[in-house]
Amino acid sequence: MLHQLLHSIIQSATGRLSRILATIAMGVAMLLIVLAVQLQANFQSLLNSPANKDSIANFLVIHQSSENLQRSSKGISSQTIEDLRKQDFTESIGIIESSHFKAGIESPSELFPFYTDIAFEAVADSFLDVQPEQWQWNEESRFIPLIVPNLFLDIYNFQFALSQGLPQLSTTAIQQIPLVIKIQSPAGDLRYTGRIVGFSDRIASVLVPQSFMQWANQQFGSSDNNQVSRVVLRTKDPGNPALSNYLKAHGLKTDADKTRFSKYRKIVDIVAGTAGAIGLILMLFALLVFSLFIRITIATSKADIELLLTLGLSPKALSQFLMRKFFPVQLILMGLVLILLSVCQYLISQWLATQQVILPAYPAVLTFACAAAVLLVIFLTNRQSIRNYVHKHVQQ
């Protein structure tokens, strides 16, 4: 009964329009702040969720930039490699070893004749994106398995074969072609059998097993040149701006496609950060608006509030009534904002799933925690405004 009567007294003192406008302002500010948090959470999920990880993108082949190569031909120094190993973005580093002997490959088939001089490279197996069954070698073996870039096959099939009138080959077909690998040694050419056993998207080089490379360099190597021209870097996040900044600062380069994402990420970081900052500013503004609304409500009801206190209504009861008048509206508003956000998140995650992008179907726990924190701030602001003003009237 008391609350109903108090409601009639206070309600009639403030206009409906001003109440609606203040409520809308608060709702928009709440939406913006939880949206900013959810955007950050979604972005983190897109970056770090295993479902969205690209195994190729996590391995970067790093070499010196062409400008640096012109100035020096020493490759990547061991000091640089050690420094790179210490960086936060580095998970592990694989050194790509080059062959220090002369070699050539020819086809024994008259149907498919070719001969070319060639150099090989090798890297630890854990850095390869393919692990064919035949990818093994020992000193007794006369067979050398090869992994070539997928790009080579594309160039052959779509460029070379067409222009030379040669047949186009499937990956299965090309793996059937026997090759003769000739290695020059002080004792004359040594002949080995070879075959392509796999295709790599990660490393653009003709690869041989690391065990063979180490043995062959030792056996036939023409120099003690141990310079490293390329390394494979395994990283959690190739889009990490710190990684691309580091490479740039040290005159190193990698596949632009993989690190280009760092530029997008910087942009998204700025956008998400700006949205968060704007959300925060709007939230503070909305708190100010609502605090002013409470003050105006009390000010416009000043005579009524004074009379209520005169009649014996306790300031505590009046404060409780005013809190109950304002806070439930804000609570419901935040509930509606969270429902709206959840629906949007669900619909967006469903749509993105059709684009092979996996996003959580529901808002992050952090978003709900943020909503609770915002409600707490609103509650405290309300209480302070009401206490200040009711107390002021009591003193009058």
Partner 1 sequence: MQIALDHITPKPLLDRLSGRGSDIWNQALTFQQGEIIRIKAPSGSGKTTLIHYLYQLRKDYTGSILWDHQETFSSHELAKLRATQISVVFQDLRLFPQLTAKENILLKKAISKNEAVSETQIIAMAEQLQVTHILDQPAGICSYGEQQRIAIIRALVQPFQWLLLDEPFSHLDEANTARAAKLIQDVCAQQHASILLTDLDDDSHFNYTKRYTL
Q: Catalog residues that contact partner 1 under the rule CB under 8 A.
A: 1-2, 5, 8-9, 12, 304, 307-317, 391, 394
| Residue number with CB closer to partner 1 (5 or 242) | 5
Output the smallest distance, CB 390 to partner 1, in A.
9
Number of residues in the chain: 396
Output the smallest distance, CB 385 to partner 1, in A.
18
| Residue number with CB closer to partner 1 (176 or 314) | 314
Output the smallest distance, CB 309 to partner 1, in A.
7
Q: Taking the CB of residue 95, how many other CB atoms lie within 10 A of it?
A: 19
Tell how far CA 154 is from the center of its chain: 30
C-alpha 332/C-alpha 338 separation (Å) is 10
| Residue number with CB closer to partner 1 (173 or 307) | 307
| Residue number with CB closer to partner 1 (253 or 325) | 325
| Residue number with CB closer to partner 1 (129 or 304) | 304
Over the Cα atoms of the chain, what is R_g?
35
Output the smallest distance, CB 294 to partner 1, in A.
19
Question: Dihedrals φ, ψ of 75, to 5°?
Answer: 75, -160
**What b/e string do you get for 57-68 counting C-beta neighbours within 10 Å, with b at 16 or more?**
bbbbbbbbeeeb
- For residue 62, which of 39, 42, 90 has the smallest C-alpha distance? 90
C-alpha 331/C-alpha 252 separation (Å) is 54
Output the smallest distance, CB 23 to partner 1, in A.
23
Output the smallest distance, CB 22 to partner 1, in A.
22
Q: Within 13 Å and on the Cβ side, how many CA atoms surround 140?
A: 0
| Residue number with CB closer to partner 1 (28 or 323) | 323
Exposed / middle / buried, residue 356 (Cβ in 10 Å: 0-12, 13-18, 19+): exposed
Position 150, amino acid:
N
The answer to whether 318 touches 309, Cβ cutoff 8 Å, is yes
Output the smallest distance, CB 381 to partner 1, in A.
22
| Residue number with CB closer to partner 1 (284 or 394) | 394
Strand order in the sheet with 90-98: 121-122, 90-98, 230-235, 59-64, 252-253
Question: Dihedrals φ, ψ of 98, to 5°?
Answer: -100, 155
- For residue 96, which of 329, 254, 309 has the smallest C-alpha distance? 254
Output the smallest distance, CB 6 to partner 1, in A.
8
C-alpha 33/C-alpha 51 separation (Å) is 27
| Residue number with CB closer to partner 1 (262 or 385) | 385
The answer to whether 38 touches 181, Cβ cutoff 8 Å, is no
Output the smallest distance, CB 305 to partner 1, in A.
11
| Residue number with CB closer to partner 1 (66 or 310) | 310
